[in-house]
Amino acid sequence: MPTKLIAVLIAVSEDRPMVLTLEGGRVLPSGPLEAGHRSLQTGLRLWVERQTGHALGHVEQLYTFADAPDTDATDERSVLISYLALTRIHSGEHGWRNWYDYFPWEDQTTPDGRALVARIAAQLGDWARAAPPALGAARHQRIALTFGLEGLGWDDELVLQRYELLWEAGLVPESSPPAGATVRGQDMAGDGRRILATAMARLRAKIRYRPVIFELMPDSFTLLQLQRTVEAVAGQAMHKQNFRRLITQQDLVEETADLAPDTRGRPARLFRFRREVIGARRIAGSKLPLTRPV
Amino acid sequence: MPTKLIAVLIAVSEDRPMVLTLEGGRVLPSGPLEAGHRSLQTGLRLWVERQTGHALGHVEQLYTFADAPDTDATDERSVLISYLALTRIHSGEHGWRNWYDYFPWEDQTTPDGRALVARIAAQLGDWARAAPPALGAARHQRIALTFGLEGLGWDDELVLQRYELLWEAGLVPESSPPAGATVRGQDMAGDGRRILATAMARLRAKIRYRPVIFELMPDSFTLLQLQRTVEAVAGQAMHKQNFRRLITQQDLVEETADLAPDTRGRPARLFRFRREVIGARRIAGSKLPLTRPV
DNA sequence: TCGAATTATGCTCGTTATGAGTATAATTCG
DNA sequence: CGAATTATACTCATAACGAGCATAATTCGA
């Protein structure tokens, strides 16, 4: 039973979140774990460098799957260990794709995205109604929750749940009994899209409590560039003044002496990430009513 | 290269967090992944039931390691996929150990625990001072952060970081160049303690934003029992009135008609977890300044 | 050259969440 | 019966958060 290492490399370029792919966007960089690899991560780094020429920086493990036995029924099922890597695009690289090409409904920054969700919700509604009453009601509930219908808010972290719901409903080409119509969005080979969804969900969750967003930023940047990067990842628009308050209050960044070049309106101050805070405690509050230590 | 599945089963009994072990507390339930297993989780369930007789409920994947090549130098290194399972202890089971037997310093609910941290900090200080200045300063900083010294608060989620620091400093028996004196606390075979630390950290993080704590509770319970369970897991004492406000405000529980039997002071109302909220949105706030959708 | 458009930045205001503590209520136990 | 114990309700100050107003400093087209 071979073990495979697979990487989701993410970067943000021109305010769009990108993922590094091979073979025309159909597969993610990957390779088998070999006895010579000093650790899982070093094995992964070797494969990614060999296949894409891209050296890895910040890497974290995502999830381990036993992939569905391939078309043929040998017991040569492999174990797939997936990783998320955050990086920056170097000029001249290719294979980078906008992740919303794979999950168009995950971009909720535009009216288009919201309209798409409405259409998907309708298709899913049909699927729920096609089931016997009890099951249908459960499906209906699940749809409302994952897609934020009926006044429930959109939860940007439910990427995987939404994909799996569409999969079950037969609305993506990968579905095992695919329905007639499928939802817009490019697919991938094997479990590729599921792994990408896992990566997106993890990243969206993580930027809330760790300063990982700066792994995707250049050395210096304006607060608006930072905001656009977060928005690209989260797929949601934010309140500008409050965003800036949040960032500055937490001492995550420090001013540089420079202003951003060639802007339109008023030139913006350039900031730099304060690397010192990286090891420091998490961003958010504890959400548990602790007693102050005596 | 064989693949092994390993489980950390957690329960809370009499306000103490327990972990299910075998062989006198030295190993966790585990077994090889076999071709016949329908999925990784079913394989895990089979092994745990076979080895301990305990059926699994809530399970989530923790982390995948390539374990250090065993004593001998064959390339028969195995991949270890670890899982966290939350459950309740059934009467008559044995092999359950208090997790603070393995990590005594992680219990910060008592003055004892705090005193122990002070002693460990002293030993680690020696280790930092034994290094050349630059490295020593870095170590010092790391110690202060992970153990919450110098006014930095104790962060209950840094279980793994603290263990790894002790490991590096040679203060645990597993350390590869073990120092003379080691810190109090039972050890385990192989990577057992590292995996347990990972499980503790994950659970402590998770109870902050998902209602998983109820997996460890009986059907009905008083708010104080709930608080004691959270405190046992988090290793920190909480403010009673505010804890109760937090829980009730979020509609996580509903009153039952009953009161707790055989209490001392005033009898407490029994509550029940509202299972409906399980799929529902996360507990906490978003920590990103979103604009309200139009 | 001026005014519109555009982006940056500072500040206020009301609401909610959080940390800490006071005050009572309802029991058991010696 | 009074002390000890646990439950529960409230208050108060402060911090965090969501929303928006106001002003500053630019570019760009007429």
DSSP state letters, A200-255: HHHHHHHTTTS-GGGGGS-SEE-HHHHHHHHHHHHTS-B-HHHHHHHHHHTT-EEE
A251 with A268, same domain? yes
- Strand D closer than 7 A to residue B246 Cβ: no
A84 with A18, same domain? yes
Residue A231 within any structural domain of the chain: yes
A124 with A59, same domain? no
Residue in A with minimal Cα distance to B245: A289
B241 with B268, same domain? yes
Q: Is B232 helix (H, G, I), strand (E, B) or coil?
A: helix
Q: Which residues pair with A63 in a beta bridge?
A: A82
pLDDT at A294 exceeding the cut of 60:
no
Q: Is B35 on the interface with A (CB under 8 A)?
A: yes
Residue A180: its pLDDT value, please? 72
Residue A93: its pLDDT value, please? 87
Q: Is A245 on the interface with B (CB under 8 A)?
A: yes
Query: CA of A199 and C1' of C16: distance in angstroms?
Result: 33
pLDDT at B70 exceeding the cut of 80:
no
Instruction: Give per-residue burial for A167-181: e unless 16+ CB within 10 Å, then b.
Output: bbbbbbebeeeebee
pLDDT at A75 exceeding the cut of 90:
no
> How many beta-carbon pairs below 8 A join chains A and B?
122
Which of the residue ranges A44-48, A184-188, A206-210, B32-36 would you say has the lowest mean pLDDT?
B32-36
Least CB–CB distance from A64: residue in B61, B155, B282? B61
Q: Is A291 on the interface with B (CB under 8 A)?
A: yes
Kindly list the residues from chain B whose CB atom is less than 8 angstroms away from the CB atom of residue A37: 66
Residue B283 confidence class, pLDDT cut points 50, 70, 90: low
B22 with B79, same domain? yes
A47 with A95, same domain? yes
pLDDT at B286 exceeding the cut of 80:
no
Residue A262: its pLDDT value, please? 79
Residue A149 confidence class, pLDDT cut points 50, 70, 90: confident
Which of the residue ranges A20-34, A44-58, B267-281 would you say has the lowest mean pLDDT?
B267-281
Q: Is B209 on the interface with A (CB under 8 A)?
A: yes
pLDDT at A73 exceeding the cut of 60:
no
Domain that holds residue B171: 105-185
Which of the residue ranges A192-201, B28-37, B202-211 would you say has the lowest mean pLDDT?
B28-37
Q: Which tokens hold the place of B211?
A: 């209602």
More confident residue, A280 or A258: A258
More confident residue, A177 or B104: B104
Computed over every residue of chain B, the mean pLDDT equals 88
CA dist., res. A82 & res. A61, Å (int): 6
CA dist., res. A153 & res. A155, Å (int): 6
Mean pLDDT of B243-252: 91
Q: Where are the alpha helices (DSSP H) in B35-110?
A: 40-52
Contact B289 A238 (CB under 8 A): yes
A152 with A111, same domain? yes
Query: CA of B244 and C1' of D10: distance in angstroms?
Result: 13
Of B294, B217, B8, the C-alpha closest to A108 is B294
Q: Which residue is nearest to nucleotide C21 (CA to C1')?
A: B241
Picking from A99, A132, A155, the residue at the C-terminal end of a domain is: A99
pLDDT at A72 exceeding the cut of 90:
no
Residue B162: its pLDDT value, please? 96
Contact A237 B291 (CB under 8 A): yes
Query: CA of B241 and C1' of C23: distance in angstroms?
Result: 13
Residue B277: its pLDDT value, please? 80
Give the tens place of pLDDT for each residue, B194-236: 999 999 999 999 998 889 999 999 999 999 999 999 999 999 9
Least CB–CB distance from A279: residue in B79, B145, B282? B145
Residue A199 within any structural domain of the chain: no
Nearest DNA or RNA nucleotide to A267 (CA to C1'): D26
Least CB–CB distance from A289: residue in B65, B154, B238? B238
Residue in A with minimal Cα distance to B110: A293
Looking at chain B, the number of H-run helices and the number of E-run strands are 7, 9
Mean pLDDT of A184-208: 93
Kindly list the residues from chain B whose CB atom is less than 8 angstroms away from the CB atom of residue A154: 293
Query: CA of A264 and C1' of D29: distance in angstroms?
Result: 14
Residue B182 confidence class, pLDDT cut points 50, 70, 90: confident
Residue B199 within any structural domain of the chain: no
- Strand C closer than 7 A to residue B285 Cβ: yes
Report the CATH number that the domain containing residue B265 is assigned in CATH: 1.10.10.10
Report the CATH number that the domain containing residue A79 is assigned in CATH: 3.90.79.10
Picking from B125, B150, B185, the residue at the C-terminal end of a domain is: B185
Q: Is B151 on the interface with A (CB under 8 A)?
A: no
Contact A154 B1 (CB under 8 A): no
A43 with A121, same domain? no
A46 with A71, same domain? yes
Computed over every residue of chain A, the mean pLDDT equals 88
The pLDDT > 70 percentage for chain A reads: 91
Residue B293 confidence class, pLDDT cut points 50, 70, 90: low
Residue A69: its pLDDT value, please? 58
Residue A266 within any structural domain of the chain: yes
Q: Which tokens hold the place of B143?
A: 């110690």
B163 with B230, same domain? no
Give the tens place of pLDDT for each residue, A16-26: 999 999 999 99
Query: CA of B112 and C1' of D3: distance in angstroms?
Result: 29
Residue A35 within any structural domain of the chain: yes
- Judged by phi (left if over 0) then psi (alpha if -120 to 50, else beta), residue A243 lies in alpha
CA B56 to chain centre: 17
Residue B291 within any structural domain of the chain: no
Give the tens place of pLDDT for each residue, A40-66: 999 899 998 899 988 899 999 999 998
Do residues A155 and B293 touch, judged by C-beta distance below 8 A?
A: no
Mean pLDDT of A72-95: 83
Residue B294 confidence class, pLDDT cut points 50, 70, 90: very low
> How many domains, in total, are found in chain A?
3
Give the tens place of pLDDT for each residue, A97-113: 999 999 999 999 988 89
Q: Is B224 on the interface with A (CB under 8 A)?
A: no
Residue B161 within any structural domain of the chain: yes
Q: Is A236 on the interface with B (CB under 8 A)?
A: yes
* Residue in the block written with tokens 């690209």: A232
Residue B198 within any structural domain of the chain: no
B93 with B12, same domain? yes
Give the tens place of pLDDT for each residue, B137-168: 989 989 998 998 887 788 899 999 999 999 99
Residue B234: its pLDDT value, please? 94
Q: Is A209 on the interface with B (CB under 8 A)?
A: yes
Q: Which residue is nearest to nucleotide D4 (CA to C1')?
A: B265
A40 with A95, same domain? yes
Picking from A99, A126, A147, the residue at the C-terminal end of a domain is: A99
**For residue A106, what is the DSSP state?**
G
Please give the backbone phi and psi of residue B93, each rounded to the nearest 5 degrees, phi first. -80, 150
Residue A200: its pLDDT value, please? 98
